[in-house]
Every structure is written in structure tokens, then in C-alpha cells.
Amino acid sequence: MKRRRIILCCALAAAAFSAAGQARGQEGGGAREWLKNRASRKAAQRSSPGDGAAPAIAAKINSPGDYTLTVEHGGAARKYRIHVPEGYTGKKPAPLLMAFHGGGGNSAFMANDKYYGLPSKADKEGFVAVFPDGASRLRGKLATWNAGDCCGYARDSRSDDVGFVDKILKDLRGRLNLDAGRTYAAGMSNGGMFVYRLACDLPGVFRAIASVTGTDNYSGCAQPRPVPVLHIHAENDTHILFGGGAGPDAFRDQSKVTDFTSVTGTIEKWLKRNGCKGSPERVVKKDGVYCDLYRDCKDGALVKLCVTSSGGHSWPGAKAKPTKRSDSPSSAISATDEIWDFFSGLP
């Protein structure tokens, strides 16, 4: 009797093992794909080029997901995040959008979908989104960008943030299949100021730029070719005043900022650089917002200005505020949608 029970138990165990094996066989494709994606993320995170003449070979990224990488620049390891969109396989070149956080923030803020909506937009439109960290002496916290006359530690230490971005781009080319003709830059506040500098100091790299709440405060521009520009700003911004200057909420220590260029002054700079002629066309006019577009510009380098009546120093259309002290964003437009529509609508 005991022998029969042992035989029966063995038979049941064998049947269960066989059934489990069949289930694994049916689900193996998904499991293998998950393991492959996980291995790709791990390999990418382990690989980072250094400052030397012969940087390490970058690990390829062949699957969607979020990656955190570093590059050595200026004697320090500097971090950046990548969001690879759903559906990316590496077989087709993807557009690239580099997004730069505001002063005092970091890449985690900019990559947070509820604040700026960029990862979900990337998934929908198929572009790779990259979020670099600004210069910081506090392990990535309270980071800033050297945008010329502003801001904080990055400006005061003369941080080579342009060189950092250039190094990221070289690193990315070794990891992803990217469309060099569809490389864009967008930024918030100090990050928006910085994209104006990038357009000047890395001519021909960015197809177009967009700034939200950050005016052009770079006096060293030797930009030899036109660049399409989108600027978004609130009339009631109390940090970077619409009419120019640092507002009461700009920074407790005014020495860390500057006497900001006005929105009008910024647009006039780029109308001249892009060789634009004539008056703008009002392409958006509704409650809380208007947008003016200058079309007659050299090499099709459009200049577009969108102005909200409310929202202060914020990202219009954001689902949530990054901090309790942040201004409530305008709901009249979505900055994320406006930016991508502007970029993707260029020839």
C-alpha cells in the first residue's frame, strides 16, 4: 500500500512538472523578451565613456525603457537619463529630444511624467527623450546650467555644460539608432535659457529649440546659421519678468541670477539671427493664450511666441506642480504638445 502511494505521488509530481514545462514553453517568448530587455538596461548602465581619447565602447540599447547613465566630463561623473519609447527596436532612426530642467532642479524632475508629460509624449510620438543633470556641488541637487549670464553654481564655476551635452550626444550615437536631422532641445527656466546657448555654441546640431519661461541671456553667440525657435512665457511670471529683469521670486540671493532679458528682447534677437521679415501671424487666439508665428525667415527658421495670461513661472498644461511652492500652471495650452507640434511640423 505504501509502495502504491509513493508511485502515485511520483506520477502526480511528474504530471505537474510536465504541465509547468508546457506553460513555460507557451510563455517563454515573453519571459525571454523581458530578460533580454533587462540585460540591455543593465549593460547600458554599466557602460560609460570617460574623458580620454579612447572612450569605452557604449553598450547598445535595443529595447524600450528608462536608463540612467553617466559620462565623465570635466573630471566628474555627470548623469543623464534616457526614456526609450514603446515600440523602439533600433531598426529605424528615432528623433531625439533633449530636455533641460530648471535652475535648482535635476533630471528626475524633468523626467517625471506628471510634471512635464514628456515620457508619455515620447511613447505616443516615438521620440527618444533625454534628461541631463545640470552642474551641482551637492551630488546632483540644486543643479543649474551655464547659460551665459545665468545661473548660480554652473555660471560661477564656468561649468562646461555645452561640452557635457556634446559628450552625451556622442555617447548616445553609440547606443541608439537616432536621426541626426531630428535632434531637438527644450528647457524650462534656466534650462530654457541654456537651449538658446546650445543653438549658438553647437551650430547645426539641433534642428530646433524651445524654451519655456527662460529668456536668452547669452551674450557670446556666434551662431552662423538660423535655428527655428519656440518661446512660451506667462505674462504674470514673477521669476523671469515678461518685460525683463529678475522678479521678486527669482532667487533669494539675486547675485545667483541676472537682469534677465525680456521676452520681447529675446524674440527680437532671434528674428534678427534668423533673418525674419514682416509681421507675425496670430495662429492661436483663445481664452488665456495667444501664439504669434513669424514665417518669412531664412532657411525656414520659424520663430514662434506663445503667451499665457496666467500660470506664472510654470510649464503650461502640467498635471501637477513639482513643489508646493511652484505656481499653478496655465491650462490654456500644453507646452509639451506645443513643443512637439512645432518640432515635428518642420520640414
Q: For residue 176, give the amino acid letter.
A: L
**Distance from C-alpha of 212 to C-alpha of 175, rounded to nearest angstrom:** 29
Cis-peptide into 151, omega within 30 deg = yes
Report percent pLDDT > 70 for the chain. Answer: 84
For the cut 60, the answer to whether the pLDDT of residue 25 exceeds it is no
Overall average pLDDT of the 206-218 stretch: 98
Q: What's the chain's length in residues?
A: 347
**Distance from C-alpha of 217 to C-alpha of 187, rounded to nearest angstrom:** 14
**Distance from C-alpha of 228 to C-alpha of 234, rounded to nearest angstrom:** 21
SS3 of 117, please? Answer: coil
For the cut 60, the answer to whether the pLDDT of residue 3 exceeds it is no
Ranges 37-41, 117-121, 155-159, 186-190: which has the least confidence: 37-41
Contacts of 143 (CB under 8 A, 6+ apart): 101, 103, 104, 105, 106, 133, 134, 135, 136, 153, 154
Q: With beta carbons less than 8 A apart as the criterion, state whether 203 and 224 touch.
A: yes
Q: For residue 82, give the amino acid letter.
A: I
257 vs 13 pLDDT, higher one? 257
Q: With beta carbons less than 8 A apart as the criterion, state whether 340 and 125 touch.
A: yes
What is the helix (H) or strand (E) element at residue 181, kind and residue range? strand 178-188
* pTM for this model (two decimals): 0.85
The pLDDT assigned to 38 comes to 54
**Distance from C-alpha of 201 to C-alpha of 228, rounded to nearest angstrom:** 15
Q: What is the CATH number of domain 41-344?
A: 3.40.50.1820
Question: What's the start-to-end Cα distance of the chain, in Å?
Answer: 83
Handedness of CA 25, 29, 34, 36 (dihedral sign): positive
**Distance from C-alpha of 152 to C-alpha of 6, rounded to nearest angstrom:** 76
Q: Confidence class of residue 10 from pLDDT cuts 50, 70 and 90?
A: very low
Contacts of 304 (CB under 8 A, 6+ apart): 229, 230, 231, 283, 291, 292, 293, 294, 342
Q: Confidence class of residue 4 from pLDDT cuts 50, 70 and 90?
A: very low
Report percent pLDDT > 90 for the chain. Answer: 76
Overall average pLDDT of the 148-161 stretch: 96
For the cut 90, the answer to whether the pLDDT of residue 55 exceeds it is no
State the Cα torsion 136-330-193-282 to the nearest 10°.
170
Read off the pLDDT of residues 100-125 as tens digits, 9 standing for 90 and up. Answer: 999 999 999 999 999 999 999 999 99
**Distance from C-alpha of 116 to C-alpha of 317, rounded to nearest angstrom:** 8
Beta strands in 24-138 (DSSP E): 65-73, 76-84, 94-100, 128-132
For the cut 60, the answer to whether the pLDDT of residue 191 exceeds it is yes
Sheet of strand 178-188: strand arrangement: 65-73, 76-84, 128-132, 94-100, 178-188, 208-212, 229-234, 303-308, 289-294, 281-286
The number of beta carbons lying within 10 Å of the beta carbon of residue 185 is 29
